[in-house]
């Protein structure tokens, strides 16, 4: 079976009640994807999850952008995976480069892996992010970094868990910078990631798992990048707050 195209949005720490209502109204003008071979999931700030679910078109889903490493308890300011599931939300974004690299956060590979495993164990689906810094790419370490981050996650999962995971490859140097990996660069890395999964998890998981590209995706570049054989969609940052996100979703038609 072909892999269903996947378009994720990541609103990050952006939005107001007013702006979310407006962008959801704009998104509602696009054609239905209910019967289309594409899955659309918007990652929203925790505080606006219920508002977004109310306003967002019903053929799209929502995700939150983080969760705690384990069950709830005396962890002020954190939100556990079981709470997220209890709230009726089925997706979470984990391991995003900003959580890995912002000096105030600095999540390790191990922390990300524990979060992924716990979220899956509590019935959530996970967009698991990987990707290299600019200096790592320039040093020829892209594959090494991606495999290190994947290895930490894979060590904590059973093969069956992977059916609820999408991998988002996000070159850190391309996030919010306007720089974009060329379609050829994206395909090369996605192919390497899929080969690693085939060798270290299983060929069947590698054939089925969706690998997304993230990094300054726009309406102008999405069709060419999304047309590559190992690119199964996108995780979109800034453009997911704009009406052009509809054009990015429509890239599935060119797959």
Phi, psi of 185 (to 5 degrees): -65, -45
Task: Look up 190 and say whether it is catalytic.
Answer: no
Task: Look up 101 and say whether it is catalytic.
Answer: no
Catalytic residue (choose from 132, 147, 170, 244): 170
Catalytic residue (choose from 96, 132, 147, 190): 96
Residue-wise DSSP of 66-126:
---SSS-SS-TT---HHHHHHTT--EEEES-HHHHH-TTT---HHHHHHHHHHHHHTT-EE
CB crowding 100-114: b at 16 or more within 10 Å, else e: beeeeeebebebbbb
DSSP state of 63: E
The catalytic site residues sit at 96, 170
């Amino acid at each position: 079976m072909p892999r269903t195209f996947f378009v994720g949005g990541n609103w990050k720490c952006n939005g107001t009640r007013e702006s979310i209502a407006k962008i959801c109204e704009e998104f509602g003008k696009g054609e239905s994807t209910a019967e289309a071979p594409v899955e659309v999931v918007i990652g929203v700030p925790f505080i606006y999850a219920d508002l977004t679910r109310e306003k967002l078109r019903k053929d799209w889903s929502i995700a939150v952008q983080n969760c705690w490493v384990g069950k709830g308890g005396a962890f002020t300011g954190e939100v556990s995976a079981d709470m997220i599931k209890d709230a009726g939300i089925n997706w979470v974004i984990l391991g995003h480069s900003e959580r890995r690299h912002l000096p105030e956060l600095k999540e390790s590979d191990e922390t990300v892996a524990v979060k992924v495993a716990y979220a899956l164990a509590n019935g959530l689906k996970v967009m698991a992010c990987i990707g290299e810094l600019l200096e790592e790419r320039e040093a020829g370490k892209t594959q090494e970094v991606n495999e290190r981050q994947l290895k930490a996650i894979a060590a904590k999962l059973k093969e069956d868990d992977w059916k609820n995971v999408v991998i988002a490859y996000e070159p850190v140097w391309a996030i919010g910078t306007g720089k974009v990996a060329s379609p050829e660069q994206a395909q090369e890395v996605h192919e390497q990631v899929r080969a690693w999964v085939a060798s270290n998890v299983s060929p069947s998981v590698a054939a089925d798992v969706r690998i997304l590209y993230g990094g300054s995706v726009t309406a102008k570049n999405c069709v060419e990048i999304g047309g590559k054989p190992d690119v199964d969609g996108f995780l979109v940052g800034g453009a997911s707050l704009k009406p052009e996100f509809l054009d990015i979703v429509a890239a599935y038609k060119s797959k």
